[in-house]
Structure 1
Amino acid sequence: MSINNIETPSLNFSVVIPLYNKEKYIERTLKSVLEQSYTNFEVIIINDGSTDNSLNVVKNIKDKRLRVISQPNSGVSNARNKGIELASYNWVALLDGDDKWEPNFLYEIALVITNIQDCAIYASGYKKINLKGDVSYSKSKYLPKDKGYVGNYFKALYYNGPVYTSSSVCLNKDVLKNSNQTPLFPSNVKRGEDLDAWTRVALQNQLYYINKPLVIIAAVLESSTYKHKYDYKDSFEYFKWLSYECKNKNERKYLKLYVYKKKIKIIKKLLVQRQYKIALKVLVELLIKT
């Protein structure tokens, strides 16, 4: 296979898309996949009990590379895990049902994997578009300037926030299995389940980063991230044990700093929503552990 007269390997990708009530966006998401310049892939859509017209929108798209599996609603983590389990190929790219890829996303990933196959995760930068249409780009302090191995994931996490998203990663199933990282996503974590997964993987494995915004994250009102009331119980509880699992002192330092920063943000959200008792509880926990 060649693209722009450049030979690329015959790698095959499985693209996994969890789908829950994305009738307005899933068509454009799938279009961004089906129009990839690199064409060796299958698409596995896990319809997670959608109650809108999402499933019909998908069924109206005719492409032999599409596979649709419907299940009762069980959450995005279980949907992603199911898709990864059913993937025909070792290289699994994830994409949310309201995000998009730039045309060369899979091509750029394939070029890297041609020469480097020892990483658990291959990821790119991304850009976000808010509801007003303003564009912002993922930060890349302490990340490779062009592309390369991620040196200290936790340092980059602290200074930049999330290094990548669930729509900008390609997984190496073999490496994940060998490091006991399957199933990847925790079904008991309702908020930040992807960050939980990336952090656990980073504790044991090599990561690779392409410093290009190859993914478009578009804010949507219907997204599950938009909640009227902030539920602290669902947020960052997993860091309690993650912080102690870091054997490297430098890694532990930056992970704990990141947890501290995130809990300050949680307190601010709780205060805005007048959940004063819970905000005080979080603050006391923070002061005791600092």
Structure 2
Amino acid sequence: MYREFATPAPTVSILTPAYDVARFVGAAVDSVLAQSFPDWEMIVVDDGSRDGTAEVVAERRDPRIRLIAQENAGVSAARSRAMAEARGEAILFLDADDWLAPDALSRLLAALAEAPEAVGAYGGYVVMAEDARPGDAPLRRKAGPFPSGDLLETLLVENLFANGGHLLLRRDAVRQAGPFLPQLRYGEDWEYWIRLSLQGPWAVAAGAAPILYLRQRSGSAYHRMARDPAAFAPAMLAIWGNPALEARLGRSRFLQIQRRAEAENAWIVGRELIRHGQRAQGLERLRASVAQAPTPKRALLLAAAHAMPMLPRALHGPFVAYPG
């Protein structure tokens, strides 16, 4: 099944940027050690942590784990440093506060083996509370069904992927895409998935069980920045400024999808404003989104958002307030 990856180098490189995550990184490393597929290397780049992150990683003594220390340079620079060191034929970007299912690598590799034209494979994930441990109940699940094939236009409108932890990427596609853009502090992964999607299609891992367990952290970039329209701007500039997009789509389709993407961003900002307690500003953004790209589902959700004060919390759906 994995013959196409046969090489003296490890089959898979798992790349983990880590900054002040001593509370969480042990679970991430332990989940890699527990993989049913054993031919991997894990490269952890300690990005100037001050809380003992490196010491937690160093406690896991396994020759397949490599720890690299650098001055704080940001998550994109840390990922790119790990990419430069990676030797595997497939690459997975695991955040230091998440963890993998024990069969994550075997399922993703099987999906890649069955789709030799794919740039990567992905599967489901579950969202966990910030202080959760393996075995705890999830907050919510993303179990599919998931689209496969050419995902470029879909990804341009909406980032389908929670992060790189439930994606396995072919090394050749990663090499061709190049490094993450260090100037992007938000949406840097989204921009990268789009560069990969310009090269080819995606495969989906079989089964509904999660590949990744993802922590919902109050200090995450999404939690802090998704309600700020300005936070989207640098990534959007990088995505839509890529000349390969218009060459691929044509001018008319390019502008049509860009308009839908702007509406989707407005929806996300509005939803997150409401979840953070800024209801009036959030509703304004939601209305602007629906006006720009109306759909029956979004119109119904907009009506529900307006009716929230009259609804029990259990019916707040995607607009439910964050804890605290």
TM-score of the pair, normalised by structure 1: 0.79
Paired residues in the alignment total 275
Counterpart of 2:178 in 1: which secondary structure? coil
Identity of counterpart residues, as a percentage? 19
Identify which of 255, 260, 272 aligns with 1:257: 260
User: 5 Å matches for 1:22-41?
Assistant: 22-41=21-40
Counterpart of 1:237 in 2: which secondary structure? helix
Residue in structure 2 matched with residue 204 of structure 1 by the alignment: 199
Are the equivalent residues in 2 in contact too, given 1:102–1:215 (CA < 8 A)?
yes
User: 5 Å matches for 1:107-186?
Assistant: 107-131=106-130, 134-138=138-142, 140=144, 143=147, 149-155=148-154, 158=157, 162-178=160-176, 181-183=177-179, 185-186=180-181
Are the equivalent residues in 1 in contact too, given 2:14–2:41 (CA < 8 A)?
yes
Residue in structure 2 matched with residue 54 of structure 1 by the alignment: 53
2:192 and 2:292 map into 1 onto residues whose CA distance is 27
Question: How far has the Cα of 1:258 moved from its partner?
Answer: 3.3
Indicate whether 1:94 and 2:89 are aligned.
no
1:265 and 1:44 map into 2 onto residues whose CA distance is 33
Question: How far has the Cα of 1:203 moved from its partner?
Answer: 2.6
Q: Letter of the aligned partner of 1:21 in structure 2? A: D
- In structure 2, stretches of 5+ residues that fail to align are 295-324
Counterpart of 1:194 in 2: which secondary structure? helix
Q: Letter of the aligned partner of 2:186 in structure 1? A: R
1:228 and 1:110 map into 2 onto residues whose CA distance is 33
1:222 and 1:237 map into 2 onto residues whose CA distance is 20
Q: Which moved more, 1:162-171 or 1:58-67?
A: 162-171
Cα pair distance change 1:46/1:202, threshold 3 Å: same
Cα pair distance change 1:139/1:155, threshold 3 Å: farther
Cα pair distance change 1:68/1:175, threshold 3 Å: same
Are the equivalent residues in 1 in contact too, given 2:186–2:225 (CA < 8 A)?
no
User: 5 Å matches for 1:273-288?
Assistant: none
Q: Letter of the aligned partner of 2:68 in structure 1? A: I
Residue in structure 1 matched with residue 321 of structure 2 by the alignment: none
2:235 and 2:265 map into 1 onto residues whose CA distance is 13
Counterpart of 2:79 in 1: which secondary structure? helix
2:96 and 2:265 map into 1 onto residues whose CA distance is 26
- Which protein is richer in helix relative to its size? 2
Q: Which moved more, 1:32-41 or 1:160-169?
A: 160-169
Cα pair distance change 1:193/1:264, threshold 3 Å: same
Are the equivalent residues in 1 in contact too, given 2:19–2:47 (CA < 8 A)?
yes
Q: Which moved more, 1:9-18 or 1:35-44?
A: 9-18
1:42-68 superposed Cα distances (whole Å, 9 cap, x missing partner): 110000111111111111111111100
Cα pair distance change 1:26/1:241, threshold 3 Å: closer
Q: Letter of the aligned partner of 1:238 in structure 2? A: A
2:212 and 2:22 map into 1 onto residues whose CA distance is 20
Cα pair distance change 1:197/1:99, threshold 3 Å: same
1:171-211 superposed Cα distances (whole Å, 9 cap, x missing partner): 21213334xx101x211111111111112221332222225
Cα pair distance change 1:228/1:38, threshold 3 Å: closer
- Which protein is richer in strand relative to its size? 1
Are the equivalent residues in 2 in contact too, given 1:17–1:96 (CA < 8 A)?
yes
Question: How far has the Cα of 1:161 moved from its partner?
Answer: 5.0
Cα pair distance change 1:255/1:105, threshold 3 Å: farther
1:203 and 1:255 map into 2 onto residues whose CA distance is 16
Cα pair distance change 1:188/1:227, threshold 3 Å: same
1:206 and 1:252 map into 2 onto residues whose CA distance is 22
1:24 and 1:204 map into 2 onto residues whose CA distance is 37
2:90 and 2:170 map into 1 onto residues whose CA distance is 5
Q: Letter of the aligned partner of 2:184 in structure 1? A: V
Counterpart of 1:227 in 2: which secondary structure? helix
Counterpart of 1:52 in 2: which secondary structure? coil
Q: Which moved more, 1:124-133 or 1:16-25?
A: 124-133
Cα pair distance change 1:187/1:273, threshold 3 Å: farther
Q: Letter of the aligned partner of 1:17 in structure 2? A: T
